[in-house]
Amino acid sequence: MDHNHVLEHSLHQLLRENHFKNINFPAPHPVTALVGLTKKQRLSGPNALSRKQLMDMSDSLHPYNVLIFIMCR
C-alpha cells in the first residue's frame, strides 16, 4: 500500500486549524465589551452595597449621613 502524502498533509492542516480555534477565541463584540466586572465593582470588593440598598438608605437617612455611613464601612 502506498503512503498518501497529500492526505497526510490535509489531515495535518485540519488538526492545526482545530488546535488554533481551541486556543484563540474571538474577541467579544463590540470589542470594548466587558468580559468581567467593571473596575469600580472590583475595587469595591465583596462587601459593596447594591444600588437598591443604597437607595433604601437614602430614603431613610439624610444624604450627609449616607455618605458618612459609606465612608465608615
pLDDT class for 3, splitting at 50, 70, 90? confident
Q: What is the pLDDT of residues 13-69, one digit of tens each?
A: 999 999 998 888 777 677 666 667 777 777 777 777 777 887 777 777 666 676 777
Distance between CA 22 and CA 40 in Å, rounded? 32
pTM for this entry: 0.34
Alpha-carbon distance 43 to 29, whole Å?
Answer: 25
Grid coordinates in use for 59?
Answer: 430614603
Please give the Cα distance from 41 to 37 (Å, whole number): 6
- Give just the sign of the alpha carbon dihedral 51, 57, 59, 62: negative
Q: Does residue 6 surpass a pLDDT of 70?
A: yes
